[in-house]
Each structure stands twice: as structure tokens, then as C-alpha cells.
Structure 1
Amino acid sequence: MKNLNICIDIDGTITDAYYWLKPCNEYFNTNITESQVTEYYIHEALGVELAEYEKFYEKNKFKLHAEQKLRPAAKDVITELGLYHNIYFVTARDKSLTMLTHRYLRKNGIPYDGLFVLGSHYKVDKARELNCSIFIEDNYDNAIQLSDAGFKVILIDTTYNRRPINENITRVHNWNQIYAILEKLSLQEKAM
């Protein structure tokens, strides 16, 4: 029997948080750097209208998500965690990206027990359904919403989520820190 039910976001969490920056800068003729990205929503970070960004995204979403680079150590940590815990990817991605997301995870050799492409940033109900032990996220609003619903959240640090956190959220900087936290949590669960 596996120990924890670990829910993990994808974009910006297992992948590079700024995967969209270069193509967006080229398309919108901007010169935004990672340190200038202080908003989660890309159109706000770029200073463009939502409709303009949505037009770009619809045209480029399959290419953007197929070519994302993984964060350092994400694959190794998730692979190790998957031996002892259930791994559920819960993403706000558009439902049209479901097959691409399965292919992306398989192509990168990332094991998982379930993939849930919600097409919405509201993840609380899915976390409840999965009996989520802990949720790994990069979106500040999602982290707050999940933590307010009683879930423990690991928030992977980015320039766009540096706001105050509550007692249910732990901020980390890399996947090795995530592994250490989950190992400690796993030992606590076994001791109960």
C-alpha cells in the first residue's frame, strides 16, 4: 500500500516557471526578464490585453507545452516518490491539452498514478476527491485556496508568488527540498 497521496501541479511546478517568456517576448515585441515577472497571469506580466494573449496562446499552446523543460531534479524526485506514494498531477491546463500532457509526462519518463486536466484553477474539489495528503503548486492564489480548505501545500518559489503565506504553506526553492519535506511527512504518517 502506498503511503501519501501527492498532488502536483505541472506548469511552473515540475517545469521551468518561465517557459513562456522567450516566445511571448518575441511575439509581443517585449523584453520582459524573469525578475520582472511579478504576476502569475502572463498577460498581466507582459502588460498586454487578455484577449491579445489568448489569441497568442490558442495559436501556440501545443508547441509551448510540448517543449517545456523540466525543473532540475523534478524527474528524479518524482520517480523516487512514486515508489512509495501515489502521484497525481492536477493541472489547470485547458482540457484540449490532455493527450499532449500524457505524452509529455511519458516522453520525460515521469511516473504518475493519475492525471487530471481541469481546465480551471479551482483544485480544492479534486484534492478532496483524491484524499490529497499534500499539494505541490506554484500559483499563489491556488496555494492559498487549497491551504484555506485545510490542505498542506508546498509552494515552489518564483518571482510571481512571493507574497505572505500561512501555516499550511511551506515555501521551497527546489525539488530536493520538496523530497526532504515529503520524506519527513511520510515518516510522520507511518508513525501514526
Structure 2
Amino acid sequence: MKSEKVLTIGIDIDGTVTSPSSIVPLMNESFGRNLRYEDCFEYNLANVYNITDEEFAIWLDQYGERLYDEAPVHGTADQILRLWHQKHKLVYISAREYRHLDVTLNWFSRYEIPYHEVDLIGSHDKLSSARKWDVDLFLEDRLENALQLSDALEIPVFLFDTPYNQGTLPERIHRVHTWEEVNSMMQSLFPKASYSLRG
């Protein structure tokens, strides 16, 4: 662990930097449903909306650009990431496809969210990318990813609390509810590596 040096922080985008509820209104509009974010009890929204995986893939192919463009920032993610950028290497590792790089970077620019690397891998298996960037810590909303990364890399993972990632967590995975909580926990785990929001 590079406790005396700058941290390399791996960060998921959707549901972590963007609001985890942002996909629901668009899916409701598309499929004529009136579900709430709280109804999304599992990560696979095809099951939640009672459609096939293929139908969801077709939908995401059609609406992905709009979804990524319109997603709101998750709480104070933008403020805290600007603080972290001064001291740490921020590497965004996302299951988004590479063809969505432009809309992703434009969104980052619009909200003044800083980055060092943006790795759109087109897959939920983020382990090889996290290894490639040698991350010290990961921020995620998908439970399966958090379990895999914390176990294989033996690193802390901050898991943003959602209806679809409930369950008992192993010691290295820390459930968090806000970005302020993440920043506070950063100070506990890496005392020399984080900033206070109050400067």
C-alpha cells in the first residue's frame, strides 16, 4: 500500500459518480412502467423490468448516449473529486463501451470533474484494468465487482449503498451512503492522503 505516496484510486462511473437512480426515469419512459429507484432490488435491470437481457442490451445500445449525457452527478462527487485530483491519481474504470468515450468526457468537462485516465472496458469484469493501473482503492456500486476486486487485489473498496447491493460485506468492503462519508473514510484509512472539505 502506497500510504506515504499519492494514491491511485479506481472509480466506477455509473451509480458512483453519476446518480444511481438516473437510469430509472428513462427506462420507465421507454417501457411504459412507473417503477421507483427503490424497486431496483437487483443490479440486472432486465429482471427488474421483466424483459430479456437481449432487450435490455438493445435498449442500452439505443439510449446509452442519452443516458450518459443526462445523468446527474451523485451528490458532491464533483467537489470531492476536484479535491482528490490535487493529490491522487484518479482512474475511472467503467463497463461503458469505448464508443461512448466522447459523451463521457464531455459530461466530465461539463461538471468540471477531473481525471487522469478514463478506461471504458465494455465489461463488468474490472479486475484486469484495476491491476493494470495498480489501484490502491476502488469506488463501486456493483456488489459483485466490489467482492471480486477486494478479494483479488486485497484493497479497500467503498461500496455506495443502493437497493441492489444489499447483504453482509467482508472486512475490506466499506458501505457508504454519501461522498462526504467516502472522504471521511479516506481520512481514516489513509490519514496522509486526503483533504478536508473545509480546506
Deviation at 1:147, TM superposition (A): 1.1
Residue 177 of structure 2 is aligned with which of 173, 177, 186? 173
Residue 13 of structure 1 is aligned with which of 7, 13, 16? 16
Q: What does residue 55 of structure 1 align with? A: 58
With normalisation by structure 1, the TM-score equals 0.93
CA distances 1:11-40 after superposition (whole Å, capped 9, x unpaired) = 000111011111111211122111111111
Deviation at 1:185, TM superposition (A): 2.7
**4+ residue segments displaced more than 6 Å:** none
- In structure 1, give the amino acid aligned to 2:66: K
CA distances 1:45-64 after superposition (whole Å, capped 9, x unpaired) = 21111122222211111011
Structure 2 alignment gaps of length 5 or more: 195-199
Superposition pairs of residues 94-173 of structure 1, within 5 angstroms: 94-149=97-152, 150-173=154-177
* Change in 2 beyond 3 A, CA 1:84/1:54: same
Q: What does residue 197 of structure 2 align with? A: none
Aligned residue-pair number: 190
CA distances 1:129-158 after superposition (whole Å, capped 9, x unpaired) = 212110000001100110111221000101
Q: What does residue 187 of structure 2 align with? A: 183
Conserved? CA contact 1:19–1:68, under 8 Å = yes
- In structure 2, give the amino acid aligned to 1:130: W
Measured on the aligned residues, the alpha-carbon RMSD in Å equals 1.6
Taking the aligned partners of 1:40 and 1:120, their CA distance within structure 2 comes to 14
Residue 32 of structure 2 is aligned with which of 29, 34, 41? 29
SS at match of 2:118: strand
Residue 92 of structure 1 is aligned with which of 77, 90, 95? 95
* Change in 2 beyond 3 A, CA 1:78/1:170: same
Taking the aligned partners of 2:130 and 2:107, their CA distance within structure 1 comes to 22
Taking the aligned partners of 2:23 and 2:107, their CA distance within structure 1 comes to 16
Conserved? CA contact 2:146–2:159, under 8 Å = yes
How many percent of aligned residue pairs carry the same amino acid? 29
* Change in 2 beyond 3 A, CA 1:59/1:166: same
Conserved? CA contact 1:3–1:186, under 8 Å = no
Structure 1 alignment gaps of length 5 or more: none
Conserved? CA contact 2:13–2:92, under 8 Å = yes
